[in-house]
Amino acid sequence: MHRTIEGFLGSRPFERGPWLAVGFGVGIACWAVLPGPWQWAGLLTLCGAAVAGGLLIDAEGDLGHLRAALIGMALMLAAGCTAIWVKSALVGEPGIARAEVAWMQGRVLDRQVEGARDRVRLLLLAEVAGHPQPLQVRLNLPADNDQPGLVEGAEVRLRARLMPPAPPMLPGSYDFARAAWFQGLAATGNVVGSVTITAAAKEGWSLRQWQQRLADHVRSQLSGSPGTIAAAFASGDRGAIAETDEDAMRDAGLTHLLSISGLHVSAVIAGAYFLTIRLLALIPFVALRVRLPLLAAGVGAGVGLFYTVLTGAEVPTVRSVAGSLLVLAALALGRDPLSLRLLATAALIVMLLWPEAVLGPSFQMSFASVIAIVAFSTAAPAKAFLSHSHEGRLGRLGRHLAMLLMTGLVIELSLMPISLFHFHRAGIYGAGANVIAIPLTTVLTMPLIALALALDLFGLGAPAWWAVGKSLELLLWLAHVVAAQPGAVTMMPGMSAGTFALFLAGLLWLALWSGRVRLLGFAPIAAGVLALLLVRTPDVLVSGDGHHVGITGEGPDLLVLRAVREESYTRTALLENAGMTGDAVALEDWKGARCNQDFCAISLVRGGRKFDLLMARGKDLVAIPVLAAACARADIVVADRRLPSACKPRLLKADRTLLGQTGGLAIDLVSGRVRTVADTQGEHGWFRRPPPYQPRKWRAGPAPASTGEPDPAPSK
């Protein structure tokens, strides 16, 4: 066996390098998945043992390639785990213990205007009453209470309602507490009343003010939805984009166009590179004395860095510009810019600086899409498809268009597991939409925006802005049309980490090896698809505070304990984790439920058994004998407050006491499996792990005999 592996590795000297970057990323993921310091130390010990074992293999012997691979992967695994462990210890900021209303005084670090939500978002470093150390907090201020002097650097005093960074609402939901930990955020909240500016900001250059001025200028030249999107392209300011437009772009698979990332940075740098090399080639004195690719690469790098700083230097943008600079270096040196080794180098740079980014969808989707493009375009079948040089111009154009469509399809298929894992949704028509939208944005819209801004220096930009508006109207029309098609979005319940790992392993194997051996990557992908098809939608979803309950399986709509606003995060999270595209219907409006001001009761038949659920929704005290009798008739009781010990349901009591230990719940009534948020958190700093809770399983079977007692909640 080891001889076979040695021969395999020896025949692929140029394909082994990118796997070192994969090993570094796997080390980061292991730190996030493993529960605590003992397990992290155990992983490092195993890596050290693997390195020691590799060193015992003769470097000049028959297993030299296997030795190098063993030592290299073990070292990269250990390096990845160590990098994020150290980053967490250095920058992690524990959140406040509980919700509170407090006075604070501090300095504004950042300010973002979110016009679509009529608010301003402030980032403060402030001394908060009751806390010994200054805290970094993020606050929402209503736009009506905004003030001209409320900018970066201003000293302010205000009163705010603070909340600790929220853990996932449900198993598989977005983990804001983890993101806040690495951002140094101790709390979020809302400003109560007005803000008092105690000291004005010092005069000077402010990046955020320049961004805001640029965004305001763009919106003054171009009104409506096109103006908000043009401002996002020019300055990175997405705050004014209407939610309907954002939703349409997301469902059409075009939301990546709204955030400054690889596409925008690449378009800007490529435009500067080719424009420079073309213009200088027209000047014989320069063309004969200067190496134009090197000079053009320098200009492109400068423009790319300026655009990155101008748009806020967010982590995704920095990742993109790092990769683009490596591509420019390859072009300047006459090397192939479409190289997986080059991409692996860029990924390593990003992971060293921001190891936590590996855990988020932005990093995963950015690099997955570029890997898919490079791997597909450099594959032998793709090269053979484009090698028909004897065909006429029309035939070659047709082949290139077909190749563009196939590349878009490959990208969509590569991103689908990532989208399903993080967002529980994936677009179906995104490949076709991107074939039109990406060339429209990169070849037409962005150059027109640059031209319009340049002409505005002379007051001549109006015609260019008109053309920008028409191109963006076409983009928005495409997004809304595609999003409105039946089946445009596929929704699925939460994917397990193991299933996601199968997809990633298969996709990486397909991308990073060449020849027929890469086809082995379809094996883990097929296993992942099978596991995904066997996933059952949870029957009951319970939020971490017990305030919200979602019930599936009773038609196309999700039944919810309390009515939720259409645009609320709660509604979105419940529907996404249920894998449903219907609406959220309040239980009191559903004919199968029995509700009064204190409780709602419902009976569900799953796996041939009837389950009785009792859910508290009132705040008034209920007599203990009445409550005890109602609990005894229920299989599951859910409450957003602590219930007395007299409440003893047959299977599960999910009250404030238990939910404080487990976080949100996803309950499968047929198997009796109860997934909890706490199961996914371990002993990481952003999650205060309470005493362990072991959910009790039950077996499907006949319902217990009826006691003849009345219903726990009267009919409506």
Quote the DSSP letter at residue 28.
H
Please tell me whether residues 580 and 671 are part of one structural domain.
yes
With cut-offs at 50, 70 and 90, classify the pLDDT of residue 209.
Answer: confident
Within this chain, do residues 43 and 105 fall inside the same structural domain, yes or no? no
- Are 516 and 621 members of one domain? no
Torsion of CA 304, 305, 310, 315, to 10 degrees: 100
| Number of CB atoms found within 10 A of residue 598's CB | 18
pLDDT 10s digits, 262-291 = 666 777 777 788 888 888 888 887 777 777
For residue 713, is it within any domain? no
pLDDT in tens, 145-192: 888 888 888 999 999 999 999 899 999 888 999 999 999 999 999 999
Q: State yes or no: pLDDT of 695 exceeds 70.
A: no
pLDDT at 707 over 50: no
Is residue 700, in this structure, part of any structural domain at all?
A: no
pLDDT value of residue 316: 65
- Judge contact between 162 and 207, C-beta under 8 A: no
Residue 382 counted as domain residue: yes
* Same domain? 406 vs 519: no
69, 91, 113 - which closes a domain: 91
Residues of the domain holding 507: 497-533
Query: Domain check: are 516 and 550 in the same one?
Result: no
3-state secondary structure of 93: coil
The predicted-structure confidence for 99-153, as pLDDT tens digits, reads as follows 899 999 999 998 888 877 889 999 999 999 989 999 999 999 998 888 888 888 8
Are the C-beta atoms of residues 125 and 106 closer than 8 Å to each other?
yes
Residue 119 corresponds to which tokens in the numbers above? 């608010």
Q: Are 538 and 668 in contact (CB under 8 A)?
A: yes
Q: Can you give the pTM of this predicted structure?
A: 0.85
Same domain, 85 and 216: no
Residue 267 and residue 382 share a domain:
yes
Residue 373: what residue type?
A: I
Identify the burial level of 265 via C-beta atoms within 10 angstroms of its C-beta, where 0-12 means exposed, 13-18 middle and 19 or more buried. buried
**Does some domain include residue 268?**
yes
Rg of the chain in Å (alpha carbons): 28
Helices 315-332, 340-353: axis angle to 10 degrees equals 140
Best mean pLDDT range from 446-460, 468-482, 563-577: 468-482
Short-list 318, 303, 306, CA closest to 272: 303
pLDDT band at residue 705 using 50, 70 and 90 as cut-offs: very low
Query: Do 300 and 407 share a domain, yes or no?
Result: yes
Identify whether the C-beta of residue 522 lies closer than 8 Å to the C-beta of residue 516: no
**What digits encode the pLDDT tens for the residues 400-417?**
778 877 887 888 888 889
Query: Phi/psi at 171 (nearest 5 deg)?
Result: -60, 120
- Is residue 463 located within the same domain as residue 315? yes
CA atoms of 498 and 10, how far apart (whole Å): 31
Reading across the β-sheet that carries 549-551, which strands appear in turn? 584-586, 558-560, 549-551, 540-542, 665-668, 673-676
Cα separation, 161 vs 99, whole angstroms: 8
Instruction: Report the sign of the C-alpha dihedral through residues 192, 196, 199, 203, in that order.
Output: positive
Of 177, 120, 173, 172, the closest CA to residue 150 belongs to 120
Q: Which domain CATH number covers 168?
A: 2.40.50.140
Looking at the domain assignment, is residue 706 inside a domain?
no
Mean pLDDT (the chain) is 84
Q: Give the pLDDT confidence of 61-103 residue by residue, as tens digits.
A: 677 778 888 999 999 999 999 999 999 999 988 889 888 999 9
Contact 456, 241 (CB under 8 A): no
Do 386 and 471 lie in one domain? The reply is yes
Task: Dig out the tokens for 305 from the structure.
Answer: 């860095």
Structure-block tokens of residue 138: 């993020």
**Helices (runs of H) and strands (runs of E) counted in the chain:** 24, 18
Does any domain span residue 704?
no
How far apart CA 339 and CA 335 sit, in angstroms, is: 9
Whether residue 346 sits in one domain with residue 228: yes
412 in a structural domain: yes
Closest CA to 471 of 493, 444, 452, 494: 444
705 within a domain of the structure (yes/no): no
Q: What is the pLDDT of residue 262?
A: 60
Average pLDDT over residues 358-378: 85
Question: Do 620 and 597 meet the contact criterion of CB atoms below 8 Å apart?
Answer: yes
Q: Are 444 and 267 in contact (CB under 8 A)?
A: no
Give the span between the Cα atoms of 596 and 715, in whole angstroms. 7
Q: Are residues 224 and 307 in the same domain?
A: yes
Q: Among 57, 91, 125, which residue terminates a domain?
A: 91
Read off the DSSP letter of residue 521. Answer: G
Note whether 420 and 495 are within 8 A (CB). yes
CB burial class (10 A; 0-12, 13-18, 19+) of residue 608? exposed
Quote the pLDDT of residue 277.
Answer: 82
Indicate the number of domains in the chain: 5
